Structure formats: C-alpha cells, structure tokens
Amino acid sequence: MIQTFEDMVRRFCATGIGIQNIHSSTDQTPAIIEKGWNPKLPQDSLRKDLVEINPTAGSFKGMLEKAIKHAIRCMEDSFACAKDKWDKSHTTPDFKVEDLVLVSTTNFNKIKGYKKIKFEGHFVIKALHGENAIEVELSKELRNMHPKFPVSMVKPYKSSDAEKFPLRKKVPQNIPPIESSGTKKITKVLKERKLRANKGREYLVRYSDPTCEDEWLAERKYLKLLNFS
C-alpha cells in the first residue's frame, strides 16, 4: 500500500522530485535508479513494455492527450480566425517615391487640445523602407521630428477635383508685409535659467519687432537692452 501510494505521488503530484533531486551517495536521481530514465511528463512515466497498466494512470494519460489535442485545435482555429479578419481589412499600400501623403498626428505630443487635427500634411515621400515604413520631407515647423513613419499612420493625399467640385475655389490670402523697426525692444521674458559655476543667469526674451526671433541673453546684455528700451 505504501509503495503504491509513493508511486502515485511521484507520477502525478511530484514529478519534479524524481528528476531534480540527486541522491548524495549515488549521484543519480530516483527516476534513474528506479526506471533508468528521467520522465518529462507524467505520461512518460508509463513503461510501454508493461503487460498491465494501472487504470488510473491509463485514464490520466488519455485525458492529457485529449487536452493537448484540444488545445492545439483551439489555437489553430484562433490563428485562422485572426488571419481572416486581417485579410479582410488589410490592404497592401502602394506608395511610391514623390507621392503626396498625410501623416497622422497621434504621436505629435507638442500639439494638444482642440487645435490638434488628425492628420498633418501634405508631405512628399522621400524614400521607401520596405513595405511597412516610409520617409517623408517634413516642413520647417516639424523639422525636429523623425521623418520616418509606419504605413499604418500614413494615408494618400487626394487633391480637390475641379470637375466634381466646380464651385470650390481657393481664396487668395493677402498677407501684409512685415516691416522691421530696426531696434530691439524687449516686451516679455519667457524663461530664465541659472548657469553653472556662478556664471549668472540667462533670459529668454521676446522682442516687439516681429522679424526678430526669441533668443537667450546673458544677464549683463539683458540689463543693457532693458535699460536701453
């Protein structure tokens, strides 16, 4: 009774004990001493050359084989269903160099709020990187971004058709010329930062002249321009 119980525990409850534990005197695992090999699964513990097999062990082996077949069949059905859904909705892009495209603004973190549009562009395709990525020529406003995008974030640009929409016209924009005053007058301090090694501070200033860009000024130059203005 004790031997039968020990055999059942080793086969179905603690299969790793007979494989991992090495006896100090023999330097071998109990499975090697008892059976001559290390079983990987409980079903491997059954000797195929035995005349009589324990009914419980045989039913367990049959249950395990049925579970493995069922799991494999479920995985194959799941893969086939996912492939059918992908094939129905997926179309291979046919982008070419010098085509006009629109780029999704999903990863454009600098643009937020209600002013953020879904697509930006149009941009010219500069190069193709396989079937899944393209490289575009970005505008000056987006020059700091990486010019490569996956095809899932790009869609072709369609210009307005004059035949379908004859009343659609482009309104010319009359932009008044920007006149430069020639003098730099500070109107606002945007930011300030402290330099290392006690070298003073720097200020990011904005001028009243629209032709002058914002720039960082040292504290001495900032005070000089502030007193001058």
pLDDT digits (tens, 9 = 90+) for 56-103: 777 888 888 888 889 899 899 999 999 998 888 777 778 888 888 888
Q: What is residue 5's predicted lDDT score, i.e. its pLDDT?
A: 63
Q: What is residue 18's predicted lDDT score, i.e. its pLDDT?
A: 52
Q: What is residue 178's predicted lDDT score, i.e. its pLDDT?
A: 65
**How far apart are alpha carbons 177 and 194 in whole angstroms?**
38
Any idea which residue has 């194959």 for tokens? Answer: 76
For residue 129, whether the previous peptide bond is cis, meaning omega lies within 30 degrees of 0, is no
- Write down all domains in the chain, each with its CATH number in brackets: 2-86 (no CATH), 91-174 (2.30.30), 186-228 (no CATH)
**How far apart are alpha carbons 126 and 145 in whole angstroms?**
15
What tokens does 99 get?
Answer: 């085509």
Instruction: Choose among 136, 169, 171, 140: nearest CA to 155.
Output: 136
- Its pTM stands at 0.37
Question: pLDDT tens digits for 199-215?
Answer: 788 888 888 877 778 88
Report the amino acid identity of residue 118.
K
**CA 147 centroid distance within chain:** 17
For the chain, residues with pLDDT lower than 70 are: 1-21, 23-24, 37-54, 109-116, 178-182, 228-229
**How far apart are alpha carbons 137 and 127 in whole angstroms?**
9
Query: Is the backbone of residue 85 left (phi > 0), alpha (psi -120 to 50) or beta?
Result: alpha
> Is the Cα dihedral 212, 215, 218, 222 positive or negative?
positive
Non-local (6+) Cβ contacts of 190 within 8 A are 204, 205, 206, 214
Q: What is residue 116's predicted lDDT score, i.e. its pLDDT?
A: 64
Q: What is residue 76's predicted lDDT score, i.e. its pLDDT?
A: 92
Judge whether 74 and 28 are in contact, CB under 8 Å. no
Q: Which contiguous run of DSSP H or E holds residue 127? A: strand 119-129
Q: What is residue 80's predicted lDDT score, i.e. its pLDDT?
A: 92
Residue 62: phi and psi, rounded to 5, are -65, -40
Any idea which residue has 């130059």 for tokens? Answer: 221
